[in-house]
Amino acid sequence: MLKKVLLGSLGAVLVLTAGILLGHFGIQRGSTTPDWVMDVTQDVDEALIQKFIAEVDNIAIQENLRELTKVPHMATSPGDEKTVQYMLKRWQDPDTGLDQAWREEYKVYLSFPDPNTPNKVTVVSPSDAVLYTAREKEKAYSSDQEDPEVVQPYAAYAPAGHPKGRLVYANQGKPSDYFLLNQTLDLTGTIAITRYGGEGRAGKAINAAPYGVIGVLVYTDPWDINDGKMSDNNETYPYSWYMPPSGVERGSFNTHYGDMLTPYLAAKDDTYRIPEKNITGIPPIPTQPIGFEDAYALICELGGEPAPSEWQGAFNCTYNFGGPGFKPTSNFNNSDVKLDIYNREELKNSANVMGVIRGSVEPDRYVIYGNHRDSWVHGAIDPSSGTSVMLEVTRVLGRMVKQGKWRPRRSIIFGSWGAEEFGLIGSTEYTEEYYSKLSERSVAYINVDIAVFAITIWCLFVFLQVKTPGSDSTSVYDNWIRYFNRTSPAYGVIPNVGFLTGAGSDYAAFIHFLGITSMDISYTYDRTKTRARIYPAYHTAYDTFDYASKFIDPGFTSHQTVARTAGNVLMRLADSLLLPFNCSDYAETLEGYLNKAMELYTDGLAAHMIAIEPLQNAVRNFRSAATRLDQLVRDSDLANETPLKVRRINDQLMLLDRAFLDPGAFPDRYGFRHVIWASSKAGQATFPGLADAYTRARSTGLDSDWKEAHRQLSILIQAIQGAAHTLGDAI
């Protein structure tokens, strides 16, 4: 069982990009202090946090998940509408609900297979006789897979079409894979079979088309997800957490996030929509995912030269390039692979469910907590584990509010996002519609998507307070630092955290588009004991309540730990007199990025008369400004400070990430404006825009590309200097 694989540690992708909890500030109050001053100077109530932690119930989370996974709930489906109504019912409950809850509708561009004409993958002879047919649906091991609302595996946004050609094996479909394959074969008119990993879903087809490939198959290799396990007689689900042979990872095959017809505009009924032909970042050729049992039947019959060792997988045969096509000794000799794809695009109404607890002192400052609601099928882990956790957090906090025991200093907004699986649509449309208000007022965004598989982390005190599943003594922090740590110049050995540099979940629009400090929380497994790149039932028809309760988190104590952690963070962000951000920790990250940039780029830039010293000065200035502000915070006597001074410091902390936004930095990449946390293809732990531009310039040698490297360096310097000014004195 996965319980044996799970570490008792939080895995970590910290990205509360501004840093680490400062701690609790005691406040002295005089007996003659007016009531309003008492309210304004109130800090976190530790007793209330302990009360919250104690009241989070693992069984309640289990029952939330059971309810949420009764039926498939793909975006805009009848099952999705049932989850909308369930969320509203819970958040409008008179005893445990929120102050207010409502739905917000968007009309969005989605892609579906034709339910009446299923997509097909076949091997056909020269006379078009069908020699082999891939499964159209996954094998049923329980009634969950037999539900008529289970959508056939498909590649969302891949075009319809009927390509037929010789099969070739293209590894992960990376640009380098197709380049290497093209050195051996003429790829014109071929069908490529690729494995998940190494390249985004859409990229596997986008990279193929320039070489003349006319169709793409995608499968999950057992080497990458199952530790080589392939048999459903005793090795895979329903006997373990591993993907069974017919399992297929569905997904959205697009590179941009948000509604594709309304970039930078909220997708309302009357919103202007670009022509469909102008959409970019989707497969230009028909594409279809299949299970590894079908991939096995095809790959092991391929002819041609053996592929490189790093292209080999778990099948008990040699992975060949293809002749192109099959071996002369194969029953499929001289045959083609044919894709019959009937996908279609539709405008559909999709709902976010929103809820709020109004703040008592600073209602115009928002702490936002979100998770998407839609799934590809039943979605027990992705996303319902996160939704079940969020519902438990709101139940406990809602009851405290209804009973008059607590009201946060700042307002808390809860978002149950719709249509995330199609490209983070619900959350993105929300940020586009409320761009100005969110930019001006948002303190932080907390995302809990796959609650038991991937955490971001951040404040020391929070993780010392919360215990690991099944333990009364070992804290999350202790377990985390034991299994996943790094050495900090300032603190020594500390928990290791990652950065939200891509668009993997609903935090993307908040951090990359709006510059709102963000974090993503979940519980993960011991990656030293498995090669699985994610939990094996991901996006398949086997991601069910049965799977979650038997193999992922029996007893739901890991879910409980995530709920306690997320709620603890949420309450501190909402209640702390001073926001719990440490700018010096941000400076440490910038210094680490600078050191790597100096190591890699100094000589190459200098050869083109581009100086990197101004970047050093900018980072040095940021460090000085951060140190001064941190010292001001430490020296402040909060009981005697004016509310306006506290508010001013909080605004500096809140707006820090906004200072790193540059709308012109990445003009060809929708929604990416944060020059520190944008994703990069260069594979270096340094500033993304500079890394990508420098790598390209070194590759091409073009003067125009070196000018772009200089431009990215200048953008970066200006942003860091601007952030330093944000932390400085008011005038």
CA distances (Å), 66 to each of 78, 374, 383, 557, in order? 17, 15, 13, 15
Q: What is the pLDDT of residue 462?
A: 57
| N-term to C-term CA, the chain | 60
By the 10 Å C-beta count (0-12 exposed, 13-18 middle, 19+ buried), 68 is classed as buried
Place of tokens 């948002």: 442
Is the pLDDT at 456 greater than 60? The verdict is no
The CATH class of 583-727 is mainly alpha
Are the CB atoms for 218 and 196 separated by under 8 Å? Answer: yes
Mean pLDDT of 258-270: 98
Q: Which residues on adjacent β-strands are paired with residue 107? A: 349
Count the neighbouring beta carbons within 10 Å of the beta carbon of residue 389. 33
Residue 420 annotated among the catalytic residues of the structure: yes
Q: What is the pLDDT of residue 463?
A: 60
Task: Considering only residues 279 and 29, tell me which one the structure prediction assigns the higher pLDDT.
Answer: 279
Q: What is the pLDDT of residue 638?
A: 67
Question: What integer best gives the mean pLDDT of the chain?
Answer: 91
Q: What is the pLDDT of residue 33?
A: 61
Is the pLDDT at 22 greater than 50? The verdict is no
Mean pLDDT of 196-221: 97
Each residue's pLDDT tens digit, 590-620: 999 999 999 999 999 999 999 999 999 999 9
Q: What is the pLDDT of residue 472?
A: 75
Mean pLDDT of 295-313: 98
Tokens at residue 478, please? 């202790």
Q: Is the dihedral of CA 298, 317, 153, 266 positive or negative?
A: negative
Q: What is the pLDDT of residue 55?
A: 97
Mean pLDDT of 473-482: 81
Q: Using CA atoms, how far apart are residues 458 and 520, in angstroms rounded to an integer? A: 10
- Angle between helix axes 613-635 and 643-654 (nearest 10 degrees) is 150
Q: Which value, to the nearest 10 degrees, does the dihedral of the CA atoms of residues 244, 246, 251, 253 take?
A: 130
Q: What is the pLDDT of residue 452?
A: 52
Is the pLDDT at 101 greater than 60? The verdict is yes
* pTM metric for this prediction: 0.93
Q: What count of Cα atoms within 13 Å lies in the side-chain half-sphere of residue 658?
A: 18
Which strand (E) or helix (H) includes residue 416? strand 410-417
Tokens at residue 510, please? 């908040």
Mean pLDDT of 198-226: 97
Strand-by-strand arrangement of the 164-165 sheet: 130-133, 120-124, 336-340, 164-165
Are the CB atoms for 199 and 330 separated by under 8 Å? Answer: no
Is the pLDDT at 38 greater than 80? The verdict is no
Mean pLDDT of 238-261: 97
Regarding the domain with residue range 44-108+346-575, which homologous superfamily does it belong to in the CATH classification? Zn peptidases (3.40.630.10)
DSSP labels, 590-627: HHHHHHHHHHHHHHHHHTTT---HHHHHHHHHHHHHHH
Question: What count of residues does the chain have?
Answer: 731
The residue annotated as part of the active site, out of 293, 392, 420, 588, is: 420
Q: What are phi and psi of 166, to 5 degrees?
A: -65, 145
Q: What is the pLDDT of residue 482?
A: 82
Q: Using CA atoms, how far apart are residues 501 and 720, in angstroms rounded to an integer? A: 17
pLDDT band at 471 (very low <50, low <70, confident <90, very high): confident
Each residue's pLDDT tens digit, 140-153: 999 999 999 999 99
Q: What are phi and psi of 447, to 5 degrees?
A: -115, 130
Q: What is the pLDDT of residue 358?
A: 98
Q: What is the pLDDT of residue 458?
A: 38
Q: Using CA atoms, how far apart are residues 427 and 129, in angstroms rounded to an integer? A: 47
Q: What is the pLDDT of residue 525?
A: 80
Q: In this structure, which topology does domain 114-342 adopt according to CATH?
A: Glucose Oxidase; domain 1 (3.50.30)
Each residue's pLDDT tens digit, 396-414: 999 999 999 999 999 999 9
Is the pLDDT at 470 greater than 80? The verdict is no
Task: Considering only residues 410 and 496, tell me which one the structure prediction assigns the higher pLDDT.
Answer: 410
DSSP labels, 298-340: HHTTB-SSBPPGGG--SSSS--B--SSSB-TTSTTTT-EEEEE
**For the chain, percent of residues with pLDDT exceeding 90:** 81
Q: What is the pLDDT of residue 449?
A: 86
Are the CB atoms for 26 and 493 separated by under 8 Å? Answer: no
Mean pLDDT of 251-270: 97
Q: Phi-psi bin for 529: left (phi > 0), alpha (psi -120 to 50), beta? A: alpha
Beta strands in 120-271 (DSSP E): 120-124, 130-133, 155-156, 164-165, 167-169, 191-195, 215-219, 251-252
Is the pLDDT at 524 greater than 90? The verdict is no
Mean pLDDT of 266-286: 97
pLDDT band at 280 (very low <50, low <70, confident <90, very high): very high
Q: Which residues on adjacent β-strands are paired with residue 6? A: 525
Q: What is the pLDDT of residue 215?
A: 98
Count the neighbouring beta carbons within 10 Å of the beta carbon of residue 638. 16
Cis peptide before 324 (omega within 30 of 0): yes
For the chain, the domains span 44-108+346-575, 114-342, 583-727
Q: Using CA atoms, how far apart are residues 596 and 616, in angstroms rounded to an integer? A: 12
Q: Using CA atoms, how far apart are residues 191 and 169, in angstroms rounded to an integer? A: 9
Each residue's pLDDT tens digit, 672-687: 999 999 999 998 999 9
Each residue's pLDDT tens digit, 106-135: 999 999 999 999 999 999 999 999 999 999
Ranking 51-60, 92-101, 521-530, 702-711 by mean pLDDT, the lowest is: 521-530
